[in-house]
Every structure is written in structure tokens, then in C-alpha cells.
Amino acid sequence: MRVRVLYFASFRDAAGRSEEDREIPPGTRVCDLWDILSGEFSAFSRFPGMPPAAVNRLYQSGDVPLEDGDEVAYLPPVAGG
Amino acid sequence: MRVRVLYFASFRDAAGRSEEDREIPPGTRVCDLWDILSGEFSAFSRFPGMPPAAVNRLYQSGDVPLEDGDEVAYLPPVAGG
Amino acid sequence: MHLTHEPIDLAAFLGAARPSDGAVCLFVGVVRNESEGQETVAIEYEAYEEMAESELAHVAASVSQEWPGALVRICHRVGKLSVGEPSVAILVTAPHRETAFAACRLAIERLKEHAPIWKKEIRPDGTGQWVE
Amino acid sequence: MHLTHEPIDLAAFLGAARPSDGAVCLFVGVVRNESEGQETVAIEYEAYEEMAESELAHVAASVSQEWPGALVRICHRVGKLSVGEPSVAILVTAPHRETAFAACRLAIERLKEHAPIWKKEIRPDGTGQWVE
């Protein structure tokens, strides 16, 4: 199945892209996709554990299984205000 | 000696005037003048003790002696804001 | 830092912050349509004006001293105000928000405690009642 | 309740209070000229815009629920801001000042914790640094 991954701020810089589509196996959870990405983008591994993640624009925990067509974003530490 | 007395808000209503000059004996203190006024204006006696007082636009305690030419005001409970 | 007989212009009151300021906190007191269950159509504010001016300046100075970095401005209206009109505005700019919030809150509390200002609530039948 | 790419117009943001409101508290975050001792000439704000919109709405709704009577409005700027420009504005109107202050403070804390917004501080030499 296929999900859309968004990258923001320092994660965008680290990944060298702001978004992409990813093919992942059915049953892949939010935390599993993070493991895949942090294996690929070495700068991600400076984060101990998974950063906050959003699926379809809502915060979700790592054990949530992804579904085909989901929009997924891992969020570097926020700094609004 | 002579002092100027100012009345505000409910004290003005009770005294029926907003200001007046008063002849007082030398040595009269802030609290003494209050006793004189509250003997005269019965509505003032609803206040237990002397209300906050200002002499020449500064808060002063009751035991401060008045001087000729002072501007004196007894202040009903304030309600700014 | 002043009393005014004219409506408070909040947009004008919101001046520019200093370059080192990261936070602005503005408090505005507004005439409400009721007070302790009684309908209010207007409020008449009266002040011992010369003394109130100096007390407002003193409030601003004392708050700035307790919250270093806070710049405090205060404006209080006198006269007859309709429901919805601002009676008081307090503007604090500061490097950080903790200071801005705390100083603004302290300023309005001090003002309410010390400023020689009184208000008379006007009821729908035209009678007035001093708030004491 | 929104993100904007245009400068925040504080005068326009300060809307009319409800007749039962006696207190207005406005917080404004402003770009500072320094951060932890380093000079800053500008800040670039970036947001996960669709999500940030819904998170800001959620912050406002949750604060109103915790402080009954508080009406909360939030506006956050995105893009490149110069020193002195407002980055965020939070307006709370409420019957009483305790609620207005507390709700305004809670809203900015929640926003800083939850809104998917990032900032990059721009130094005088043109380099940028994400604040994390």
C-alpha cells in the first residue's frame, strides 16, 4: 500500500524533500515507518525514539497501523508562538 | 488655620458638596478632621473607623498633623478598573 | 499613563514594542451589561484626577520594579461610559511572556486597590448606585 | 482562528466584546532581536498548515471548556517576519478578568506545546537555525 509522507523544518532539511509517496507493507505501524525513515536519513537518528507523529493531521501514537492513502508526518520539536 | 476638603462619589452625595474650606485648630490631625466631618454628615458614620485619606494627593495615615493650606480628601472605597 | 475623558483608542494605545521585547500583554476592562445580577446600562467613572494620575504612574513604576524588563502603560477613562466601552487599558511589553502576563495582572490589581477612582452603575430606570 | 501569511492587524483582531464581557486579555508574541544571546534579524515561521489550523481551533475550544465564559480567538503568522512583527495573537474576552488572564495564558502554553509550527532564526550573516 502507499502513504504520503510529509517533512517539515529540520526534518525537511535532513530528508532533502518536503513530501513523497512511500510503498509500505500492509500492517506497517506509525513507529515502523519511522524506523524505516530514520534508517535512511541519518540525521533523524539524533532523536531518541520516535518524535510526535500525525496521521491525516491528527496526533497518533506509534502503534497505530497505517492505511492505504494515509498522510503521515513526523514532527520535529515544535516552536510556535 | 484653613484646609481645603474634597468630597468624592458617595461622600460628595452625603456631604452635598464637592469641596469646601474648613477652619481647624492648629495640631488637628487627619483623624481628628474625620471625626469632625463624620459628626456633621451622618452618612459618614456608616464607615467603621476612618476611611483611607489623602493629604496633598498622597495617602497619609490618621495621625499625620494637618498644616495650613493642605488639600485633604477622605476616600470612599475605590472601584477603578 | 493618564486619565482621559475621551474614549480609549486601543489601536493607538498598542504602541510598538522595543526590539528586545518578545511579548505584549494588553488588559482591557469593559463596561458590562450586568453586575451581581442587576442590569446596568452605563457606568459613570469619577476620579480624584490629580491624585489618580500620580497613583497610576506609581502603579506602573512599582510593577516595573518588581518585574524587571516590563514596560507598563496605563490609561483609565472617566465620565459616563456605555456598555462595551473600555474603562481601563493596561499594556505591558517585556522580553518574555511570563513577565508580561504577571506584570499586567499585578498592575490591574494594584490599580483597583489604590487608584482614587469610583464608579456609579446606572440602572435601566436611570437611578445610579455607587460601587463600594 | 487561523494561520495567516499576511501581517497580523492587531487593531482589526481586537473585535468587540460581548455585552456580558467585562474583561479582555490580548497576548501578542513579537519577533525579538536576540535569542539566548545570539542576534536575530528575522524569523521564518513554517507550519503544517492544515493540521495547525485544526490544532489552533482545538486549543481555543479546549481552553474555553476549561474556563467557562471565555471566548478565545487565535491568529498565528507564517512566513518570514522582521524584528518587532507579531507572530501570534491570542484574544480572550470573558465576564471577569481572572478568567480572561488564565484562559489567555493557557492558550499560549497549549499552542506552544501542540501547534505544528516551527521557527528558524535568521542571523545577521544570513544563516538560519531551527529552534528545537
Q: A17-66, pLDDT tens digit by residue?
A: 999 999 999 999 999 999 999 999 988 988 889 999 999 999 999 999 99
**How far C76 CA lies from chain D's nearest CA (Å)?**
14
Q: State the best of A19, A44, A47, A57 to mutate against chain D, taking most chain D CBs within 10 Å.
A: A57
**Residues from chain D contacting residue A75 (CB–CB below 8 Å):** 48, 116
Does residue A13 have a pLDDT over 70? yes
pTM of the prediction?
Answer: 0.95
Q: Which candidate in D20, D26, D73, D91 is best for mutational testing of the C interface (most C CBs within 10 A)?
A: D26
Residues of A in contact with D47 (CB under 8 A): 80
Taking CA atoms, what residue in C is nearest to D27?
C25
D26 and C25: CB-CB below 8 Å? yes
Contact D33 C20 (CB under 8 A): yes
Cβ neighbours of C51 in B, within 8 Å:
54, 57-58, 73
- The C-alpha cell that represents D16 in the structure block: 468587540
- Interchain pair D19, C100: CB under 8 A: no
What pLDDT is stored for residue B64 in this prediction? Answer: 98
DSSP 3-state of A17: coil
Q: Render B20-64 in DSSP notation, one character per residue.
A: EEEE--TT-BHHHHHHHHHHH-GGGGGSSSPPPEEETTEEE-TTP
C-alpha cell at D102: 488564565
Neighbouring residues of A6: CB distance < 8 A, sequence distance ≥ 6 = A18, A19, A71, A72, A73, D48
CA-nearest residue of chain B to C51?
B57
DSSP secondary structure, A28-77, as one string: -BHHHHHHHHHHH-GGGGGSSSPPPEEETTEEE-TTPBP-TT-EEEE-PP
- pLDDT of C22-31, one tens digit each? 999 999 999 9
Name the residue type at position A21.
Answer: D
User: pLDDT class for C1, splitting at 50, 70, 90?
Assistant: low
By C-alpha distance, which of D7, D24, D16 is closest to D91? D24
Predicted pLDDT at B46? 83
Contacts of D70 (CB under 8 A, 6+ apart): D63, D64, D92, D93, D94, D99, D100, D103
Q: What angle do CA D41, D44, D45 make, to 5 degrees?
A: 140
Contacts of C111 in chain D (CB under 8 A): none
Q: What is the mean pLDDT of residues D50-77?
A: 97
pLDDT of residue D40: 97
Which chains have 3+ CB pairs within 8 A of B?
C
Q: Is the pLDDT of residue D15 over 90?
A: no
Nearest by Cα to D75 from D34, D113, D23, D115: D115
- Residue A37 corresponds to which cell in the numbers above? 525513515
Compute the average pLDDT of residues C2-10: 95
Q: Do C3 and C53 contact (CB within 8 A), yes or no?
A: yes
pLDDT of residue D63: 98
State the average pLDDT over residues D37-60: 97
Does D88 sit within 8 Å of A80, measured CB to CB?
yes
**What local confidence, expressed as pLDDT, does residue B16 receive?**
96
C97: nearest CA partner in chain D: D29
Q: What is the pLDDT of residues B12-59, one digit of tens each?
A: 999 999 999 999 999 999 999 999 999 999 889 888 899 999 999 999
> Given an 8 Å threshold on Cβ–Cβ distance, is D27 in contact with C100?
yes
C-beta neighbour count of B46 within 10 angstroms = 10
**pLDDT (0 to 100) of residue D1:** 60
Interchain contact C14–D (C-beta under 8 A): yes
| Disruptive mutation site among C43, C48, C58 for chain B (greatest number of B CBs within 10 Å) | C48
Cα–Cα distance, B75 to C107 (Å, whole number): 21
